[in-house]
Amino acid sequence: MNTSVRARHDERGFSFVELLVTIVIAGIIFAAMVPVFVMATQKNSADSARLQAANVAQDKIEKIRQLPYGSIEASSTRPNDTPNLYNTAFADGQFGHETTLTAGTRIRKIYTDYQVTAYPAVDTGLASQYKLVTVTAYWDAPPAPVKRVVLQTIVYRQYAGPPINAFSTVPGIGDNGVLGGDDLVSVTLSAHVDLSSGATPASLQFKVSAYGGQTIASQLVEATDLNQASDFYYDDGDGTFFWRWDCSTAANTVYDLQATALSTDNFAGNTMHLYPRIEHTVLPAPPSNVVAAAGDAKVDLSWGRSTASDLVSYEVFRDDTLIKTIGIVSPATEPATTFRDDTPPLVNGTTYFYAVRAVTSAPPSAPLSSVFAFSNAATPSASGDGTPPLAPQPVTATRAPAAATITLTWGAAIDPSPGSGIKQYEIWRSADNSTWNQIATWTNLTNLTYADSGAGWATKWYYKIRAVDVALNQGAWSATVNATTVAQPLHELRISVQNGSGNDCNVWVLDPATGHYFDTAGVDKGEPPPDGTYIAKNSSVTFSHLADGAYTVFAAKGPSPGAKSYGAIVQAPFGTLSGVSP
């Protein structure tokens, strides 16, 4: 009986009451879990927002480290200042207080606060070298809770200079690495500073170095150099610095062109380099310091000599017209460096401009001329002084006792009334008392002494001097004087070899200034080392007829030439060099 009732009950399933109890229990459990699901969803949203805030903060930190040191400033109370990390226009809009992120139709705003302080904060003397930058990123709830992201970085002042983002030359550098062409005489370097960084450059340093070598030319261009007609200037409109480098005498090789911008507190930014090769015809070095002195219907020109080794003449131009070619007048070894422009007489009240260039001996095709060296403006004017000075007297010429020098002394010349006063003296020299060349213009009126240090050894010279007054009247000649320099002093170099081991040796004598070797008779044997001079053990040898100077003495073991293994520097005049032990 019971078995059948249970069977019928199993066939019917759950009763309504049982089902209702089950539903109530499940509802209670689900209701208890709903807050857990809500909290998990909110936490996921908050974590996602915090991750986005962290990415924004990291992006700002990285961009801040790329800024010039002086541009890293922050002020929330003056958001329109520049530089200022709160300014939305600063650094091409890379910063500001608010960043908007989008993902599909969802939009979220991340807010960023900046704080810039000296580091370390205490006064240790290092505060001006570092900045501590704090970036705080956050959002407005929801989602909550809002967990702020705080990142910090320390910026070193080494990178304080304004950044250069472009460096180029005119003419340009070809695909073969060659700067310009065969006719290259100058190149304009231009460096552009990125003004969007907010750092105003104070100056820019250009440098030219032989590749791997020393600096051969440089120019500091200030931000105040705004004259675009100059060889160097700053274009404050777009932040570009320019410099025209005169490379007319530059050797044909590879160069390192450099540009470095400097901040107002003289800290350097990045240095940009170009490495072109120059392949051009090297022009002679131009004259230097061309000076034009105006007189009554005339102008006197003077200039510093060109350093060209094969100089044959100077060409003088007045207002773009060649007016004089000054060549070498024997027995002079180079052309004069003065010229008077008075034939025909110049027009008083008219301003004249002059230029001088050097000309060297002819290469296979034609002579080479240097670039021009320009004078100051000269305006002749009428003068009431038409009377030339009297001759300076007395004049004496005295040779130096141990140098290739003749010293001249003279008494002051008198400029008769109505005199304008003595301006300078002209010193002339001749080898035969017939053909004369001016060798100096002397302007030190308180010291009437001139040393002709280029007189050479054992050489006789004649001299005469005349005064020139302020009106450029050339005075009467002094009496002619002469003197003969002493013969070149010669000395002996004696080498005493003291070798306890009993070995013979060979020695060499080298002039390190020229790289030339000398034999025992003082004959220059050139650069390749000749056979050594044999010296038996405990013997000596004399190298004679060597001029004053420093020499290097080498020795090598053995009766025949071998590798040089010993070096000692000796100074002439000298006695015995002993203790040479190869």
- pLDDT of 459-494, one tens digit each? 999 999 999 998 899 999 999 999 999 987 765 565
Say whether both 498 and 476 belong to one domain: no
Higher pLDDT, 542 or 408: 408
Calculate the average pLDDT of the chain. 82
Is 11 part of a structural domain of the chain? no
Is 3 part of a structural domain of the chain? no
Say whether both 292 and 321 belong to one domain: yes
Q: Which of 68-77, 157-166, 440-449, 566-575 has the lowest mean pLDDT?
A: 566-575
Residue 110 has pLDDT above 70, yes or no: yes
Residues contacting 395, CB < 8 A, separation 6+: 408, 409, 410, 411, 463, 464, 465, 478, 479, 481
What per-residue confidence (pLDDT) applies to 566? 38
Give percent of the chain with pLDDT exceeding 70.
Answer: 83
Say whether both 404 and 522 belong to one domain: no
Residue type, 229: A
**How many separate domains does the chain show?**
5
Instruction: Output the CA torsion sign for 344, 348, 350, 356.
Output: positive
Q: Quickly tell me which residue has 């003004």 as its tokens.
A: 195
**What is d(CA 249, CA 351) in angstroms, rounded to the nearest whole number?**
31
Is 379 part of a structural domain of the chain? no
344: burial class by Cβ within 10 Å (0-12, 13-18, 19+)?
exposed
CATH of the domain at 541: 2.60.40
What per-residue confidence (pLDDT) applies to 134? 95
Say whether both 301 and 245 belong to one domain: no
Task: Name the pLDDT band for 122 (thresholds 50, 70, 90).
Answer: low
Say whether both 467 and 503 belong to one domain: no
Residue 120: cis peptide before it, omega within 30 degrees of 0: yes
User: What does residue 212 show for φ and ψ, rounded to 5 degrees?
Assistant: 75, 10
Residues contacting 236, CB < 8 A, separation 6+: 223, 226
Residue 403 has pLDDT above 50, yes or no: yes
Mean pLDDT to the nearest integer, 298-318: 89
Is 388 part of a structural domain of the chain? no
Of the candidates 130, 159, 188, which is a domain's last residue? 159
Residue 92: other Cβ atoms inside 10 A? 9
State the chain's maximal CA–CA distance in angstroms. Answer: 169
Is 279 part of a structural domain of the chain? no
Task: Name the pLDDT band for 158 (thresholds 50, 70, 90).
Answer: low
Mean pLDDT to the nearest integer, 357-373: 75
**What is d(CA 232, CA 217) in angstroms, rounded to the nearest whole number?**
13
Task: Name the pLDDT band for 563 (thresholds 50, 70, 90).
Answer: very low
CA 249 from centre of chain: 16
What per-residue confidence (pLDDT) applies to 413? 94
What per-residue confidence (pLDDT) applies to 41? 67
Say whether both 208 and 305 belong to one domain: no
Say whether both 43 and 101 belong to one domain: yes
Say whether both 261 and 332 belong to one domain: no
The kind and range of the H/E element at 273 are strand 268-274
CATH of the domain at 450: 2.60.40.10
Say whether both 243 and 310 belong to one domain: no
Of the candidates 159, 182, 215, which is a domain's last residue? 159
Q: Are the C-beta atoms of 149 and 58 separated by less than 8 Å?
A: no
Mean pLDDT to the nearest integer, 540-552: 73
Q: Are the C-beta atoms of 516 and 525 separated by less than 8 Å?
A: yes
Q: Which of 218-222, 267-271, 372-376, 578-582 has the lowest mean pLDDT?
A: 578-582
**What is d(CA 416, CA 393) in angstroms, rounded to the nearest whole number?**
15
**What is d(CA 446, CA 428) in angstroms, rounded to the nearest whole number?**
20
Task: Name the pLDDT band for 578 (thresholds 50, 70, 90).
Answer: very low
Is 353 part of a structural domain of the chain? yes
Say whether both 130 and 107 belong to one domain: yes
Task: Name the pLDDT band for 368 (thresholds 50, 70, 90).
Answer: confident
Mean pLDDT to the nearest integer, 40-47: 74
Of the candidates 484, 518, 544, which is a domain's last residue? 484
Residue 52 has pLDDT above 50, yes or no: yes
**What is d(CA 88, CA 579) in angstroms, rounded to the nearest whole number?**
80
What per-residue confidence (pLDDT) applies to 285? 84
Hey, what are 306's tokens? 């060109």
Q: Which of 123-137, 163-177, 281-295, 467-481 has the lowest mean pLDDT?
A: 123-137
Residue 325 has pLDDT above 90, yes or no: yes
Say whether both 37 and 124 belong to one domain: yes
Say whether both 497 and 559 belong to one domain: yes
Mean pLDDT to the nearest integer, 100-129: 77
For the chain, the straight-line distance linking the first and the last C-alpha, in angstroms and rounded, comes to 135
Give percent of the chain with pLDDT exceeding 90.
Answer: 40
DSSP state of 352: B
Residues contacting 557, CB < 8 A, separation 6+: 503, 504, 505, 565, 582
Is 215 part of a structural domain of the chain? yes
Is 380 part of a structural domain of the chain? no
Domain that holds residue 230: 164-274
